[in-house]
A = this chain, B = another copy of it.
Amino acid sequence: MEDCYPKGYRSVVFNAGIKDDTLDLGVVHSEKPAHAAAVFTTNKIKGNPVLIGQKHIKKGFIQTLVVNSKNSNVATGQPGYDDAMEIVKKVKDELGLEKTSLVFPSSTGVIGRRMPVDKIKLALDNLKAKLPGTFSYGDFARAIMTTDTVPKYLCARIDDAVLVGVAKGSGMIEPNMATMLSYFFTDADISSKDLDKILRRGVDMSFNAISIDSDMSTSDTVLLMANGMAGPVSVKKFARVFNKMAIALAKMIVTDGEGVTKMLICDVNGAKNDGEAKKIAKSIINSPLVKTAIYQGDPNWGRIFMAVGKTPDVKVNPDKLKIFWGKPPRHYKDAEMDQLHEYLKSNSELRLTVDLGVGKGSFRAYGCDLTEEYVKINAYYTT
């Protein structure tokens, strides 16, 4: 990935001293305003930066992304909203942007505390001069890490264009909840409308298909920027690469999830429709009894049955329900539980296929095991 860079993007990272002396602030700036699309958490309590991002993305253009960790600016009311806007305006002024709405803010970290706006503004002083000529997305990925153990970023080429994806999550953030942030930057020339379609479809099969612990953050954000500097590309091809990258980043998030030792890739086929397949797949990967069973490789298929059956508002016929493990999918008979135990024990990426036999709907979800380590990470600390 040495020389895999989209044209016209530059980045810089800082320690603004929000909490300690580690990296806590990052800026990505595009030479030209970029077509942009974004999706946000559906949590009814949203961080102030999310509320601002939702407004700004409506114009269809974003030029500069400013992200901090260590404070999520959630549940801080109007003063917190004003704090976020002060940072946005600082970025706009420093870089001489045409409009405030070209700045896209994100924050992740503790809930309910006011942002140290002065510290952040101090770090952003003379931002134009501080921005190097390069886009160090690896450093940017590092700056937005919290309890992530590895920075998460990927790069790919589509014709003459380049697509970079950066993600963080779902480690525990400071003394608060997990947040998933993901940003995509390309120099391809794609309309905001097309970007929006590509983003929503891709997110649905990647970031919306994963779960570490079923808890949804108040700050989840995915942004896709396309500044057009490499000219047009095949939208179809771009979408294919985007989907692949989004899924790869989503899987990196699961693998790096709190206390995770095993990933569970769960295909639900033969559902009444794709929506019902998704509900059932999510019910399976979120079931504590399924998650604890796969942790130690217990071949306990009764728990899968239970998780399928408890899904609300879906069509299930117990007599048609079939469970397969591995790739290619294999059905283990009652007499083969030792072999299934062996499969579950010896693989860190497990494949589960559930066939409902009632229709043509399907969905793939990505989950993980539930371990003592998850409990430890989330129980033993003081705010």
A interface list, Cβ under 8 A from B: 42-46, 72, 74-75, 77, 110-113, 175-178, 213-218, 286-289, 292-293, 295-296, 298-303, 305-311, 314, 316, 318-319, 321, 334, 337, 341, 370-372, 374-376, 378-383
Residues of B within 8 A of A371 (CB): 375, 379
Residues of B within 8 A of A301 (CB): 111-112
**Residue contacts A-B, CB under 8 angstroms, 8 given:** A45-B308, A75-B321, A112-B302, A113-B334, A217-B306, A288-B288, A298-B381, A299-B383
CB-based contact B383/A314 at 8 Å = no
Q: Which residue of B lies closest to A300 (CB)?
A: B383
> How far is B292's CA from A376's CA once the two chains are assembled, in angstroms?
8
CB-based contact B216/A306 at 8 Å = yes
Residues of B within 8 A of A289 (CB): 177-178, 213, 215, 378
Residues of B within 8 A of A311 (CB): 44
Q: Which residue of B lies closest to A175 (CB)?
A: B300
CB-based contact A309/B45 at 8 Å = yes
CB-based contact B375/A316 at 8 Å = no
CB-based contact B318/A45 at 8 Å = yes
CB-based contact A111/B372 at 8 Å = no
> How far is B171's CA from A364's CA once the two chains are assembled, in angstroms?
31
Residues of B within 8 A of A379 (CB): 292-293, 295-296, 298, 370-371
Assuming the contacts A293-B378, A310-B215, asked whether A112 and B305 have C-beta atoms less than 8 A apart, the reply is yes
Q: Which residue of B lies closest to A286 (CB)?
A: B214
Residues of B within 8 A of A378 (CB): 288-289, 292-293
Among A286, A381, A383: residue with most chain B CB under 10 A: A383
> How far is B119's CA from A111's CA once the two chains are assembled, in angstroms?
59
CB-based contact B177/A306 at 8 Å = yes
Q: Which residue of B lies closest to A287 (CB)?
A: B215
> How far is B307's CA from A214's CA once the two chains are assembled, in angstroms?
10
Residues of B within 8 A of A215 (CB): 287-289, 303, 306-307, 310
CB-based contact A75/B298 at 8 Å = no
Residues of B within 8 A of A310 (CB): 42-44, 215-216
In the complex, how many angstroms separate the beta carbon of A120 from the nearest chain B beta carbon?
20
| Residue in contact with A302 in the complex, picked from B110, B296, B300, B303, CB distance below 8 Å | B110
CB-based contact A314/B44 at 8 Å = yes
> How far is B80's CA from A78's CA once the two chains are assembled, in angstroms?
61
> How far is B381's CA from A298's CA once the two chains are assembled, in angstroms?
7
CB-based contact B318/A75 at 8 Å = yes
Among A74, A218, A321, A375: residue with most chain B CB under 10 A: A375
Q: Which residue of B lies closest to A370 (CB)?
A: B375
Assuming the contacts A289-B213, A295-B375, A375-B375, asked whether A319 and B383 have C-beta atoms less than 8 A apart, the reply is no
In the complex, how many angstroms separate the beta carbon of A368 from the nearest chain B beta carbon?
12
> How far is B381's CA from A296's CA once the two chains are assembled, in angstroms?
8
> How far is B46's CA from A219's CA once the two chains are assembled, in angstroms?
39
CB-based contact B288/A213 at 8 Å = yes
